Structure 1
Amino acid sequence: MSVAGINVLVEETRARTQAAKAPLLSVRGVSTYYGSIRALKGVDLDVSEGEIVALIGANGAGKSTLMMTIFGSPQARDGTITYAGRDITKLPTHEIARLNIAQSPEGRRIFPRMTVRENLQMGASVNGGRHFAEDLERVCTLFPRLKERIDQRGGTMSGGEQQMLAIARALMSRPRLLLLDEPSLGLAPLVVKQIFNAVKELNRTDGLTVFIVEQNAYHALKLAHRGYVMVTGTITMSGTGKALLDNPQVKAAYLEGGQH
């Protein structure tokens, strides 16, 4: 091979290596408004393939707004959101859902009059339900309670069961990136532990990439490889989950009186 050919090969290899290191999800300078109110103020954030990344902050900090902005509703007024190298900033929600991104929104938002099975079918419909039986078995193994409730209407189940259903419904689309918004909200500690263990297992066995928004900083940072802290629509701190757990400012603001 000529020297020129070798140089081309080296450059191609370098480009592939850089592409492999590029974040799966990249948020750059994102600002989101509700009318004239600026809810997000130039947010920068990355989630790499195979990571669990947590966003913590007080109630009203803008965490859920960022999650919803990533999923297209509301859309960012400024900045860019890139997923797998594609600019998705202005895409509508239904198109984003087809890109192997799934969301389990705050407040669960299952279909209460539908059965567990029907809710899971709705999740599978994003990819045409091609692997429904296989994926149904998988999520019922992950959350055995759903198997027991398979023909029960979602709205008649407990809050913890509904949260399991919301996550399972998201998983039925076989996402590459799972967005979890406040999965522990209003749930008993035992149920919270079960849900977080399931997320950890999915990341470990399937390599599922997870971006989790949580008010429960202790659980979120224990779970996450990396984390970000948001205060009034601005990212104020970032680091590994352990580093943030050990950070005196994070401890004082979010962990005092919490679990240790």
Structure 2
Amino acid sequence: MSAEALLSLDSVTACYGRLPVLHDVNLDIKPGEIVALIGANGAGKTTTMMTIFGRPRASQGRIVFHGKDIAQLPTHDIARLGIAQSPEGRRIFPRMTVMENLQMGAIIAGDPDGFDRDLEHVQTLFPVLKERADQRGGTLSGASSRCLAIARALMGQPKLLMLDEPSLGLAPLIVKQIFAAIEELNKDGLTVFLVEQNAYHTLKLADRGYVMVNGRITMSGTGAELLERKEVRAAYLEGDTAVLKETNGA
């Protein structure tokens, strides 16, 4: 576990019931980085992100954020420490307006004086949210709801933003816009943990990345290094269905 890390997973195992789904996962995210976790559908990427938030709990190992082991903390306490998650899919409050969703996100920050500043920031990043401030979340398009989910997470003033499949199901132009927004947020100093199946865009953007296969980390390296790995290219960049062979790292 790196002493410099903002977040570290140290030999983490997690289960659904009695079924192990994560196996001895080791992963570090340093302040100011974009770190990617890529892998096929069902590899355990989302479970890794959810385990950081305590659902499911890590059955073995440590999850350390800012020097504090958070593996057994309640989810709401983990969020208050400065970790925000934008989960996969349309995970917004559908009956609430866009503005009400953003207000809900701001509650975790506990900073009423910063609300207007944060609101202006997310509306500049995603202009559609200003245009549709009074529209119910459940009536938004897939692209707009994805922007809202990210913006709601940002309203909590996180130290670490965790994004689960932000490009899933979106048109290429929207995917480009989402990744540009992630890059801009990172340039402003936000640390980002990015879980994605879109390996090419993700590894181009990421400082470092990890590859997960069947709940295990099988490769790691810089984004550029992983893009050049023949196993990664075969499995994720060239449409090959071959399963990645486990290896000890990049």
State the TM-score, normalizing by the size of structure 2.
0.93
2:33 pairs with 1:51: yes
Confirm or deny that 1:34 pairs with 2:16. Answer: yes
Please tell me whether residue 66 in structure 1 is matched to residue 56 in structure 2: no
Q: Provide the residue aligned with 1:139 in structure 2.
A: 122
Task: Tell me which residue corresponds to 1:190.
Answer: 173
Deviations 1:89-147 (A, max 9, x none): 10111000100110001113100110000000000000224211111111000001111
Structure 2 match to 1:16? none
Q: Which amino acid aligns with 1:83?
A: F
Report the AA paired with residue 175 of structure 1. P
Q: Aligned residue for 1:83?
A: 65
Cα separation, 1, equivalents of 2:152 and 2:51: 21
Which range moves more in the overlay, 247-256 or 21-30? Answer: 21-30
| Cα shift readout 1:155-200 (whole Å, capped 9, x = no counterpart) | 1010000000000000001111000011111111111110110010
SS at match of 1:251: helix
Q: 2: distance between equivalents of 1:118 and 1:84?
A: 31
- Total equivalences in the alignment: 238
Q: Deviations over 1:10-46 (max 9, x none)?
A: xxxxxxxxx9x51000001100001121100000000
Residue identity matched to 2:42: G
User: Residue 233 of structure 1 aligns to which amino acid in structure 2?
Assistant: G
Q: Does residue 174 in structure 1 map to residue 161 in structure 2? A: no
- Give the counterpart letter for 1:168 in structure 2: A
1:124 is matched with which residue: 103, 106, 112? 106
Structure 1 residue runs of 4+, over 6 Å off?
none
Structure 2 counterpart of 1:114, one-letter code: M
Task: Please say if 1:200 is aligned against 2:200.
Answer: no
Give the equivalent residue in structure 2 for 1:110.
92
Of all paired residues, the percent bearing the same amino acid is 68
CA contact (8 A) 1:121 1:129 kept: no
Contact 1:30 1:42 in 2 (8 A): yes
Determine if contact 1:178/1:208 at 8 Å carries over to the other structure: yes
Is 2:46 the partner of 1:96? no
Give 2:43's aligned amino acid: A
Indicate the SS of the match to 2:95.
coil
Aligned to 1:12: none
Larger radius of gyration between Structure 1 and Structure 2: 1
Q: Match of 2:143?
A: 160
Give the AA of the match of 1:132: F
Q: Higher helix proportion, which one?
A: 1
For residue 186 of structure 1, give the secondary structure of its aligned residue in structure 2.
coil
Structure 2 unaligned blocks of 5 or more: 241-250
Task: Give the conservation status (yes or no) of the 8 Å contact 1:73–1:92.
Answer: no
Alignment TM-score, normalising by the size of structure 1: 0.90
Q: Distance in 1 between matches of 2:207 and 2:110?
A: 32
Q: CA deviation at 1:77?
A: 0.3
CA contact (8 A) 1:112 1:154 kept: yes
Q: What displacement does 1:257 show?
A: 3.9
**Letter matched to residue 19 of structure 2:** I
**What per-residue deviation string (whole Å, max 9, x for no partner) do you get for residues 31-65 of structure 1?**
00011211000000000000000000000000000
Please provide the CA RMSD for this pair: 1.2
2:194 to 212, 223, 227: 212
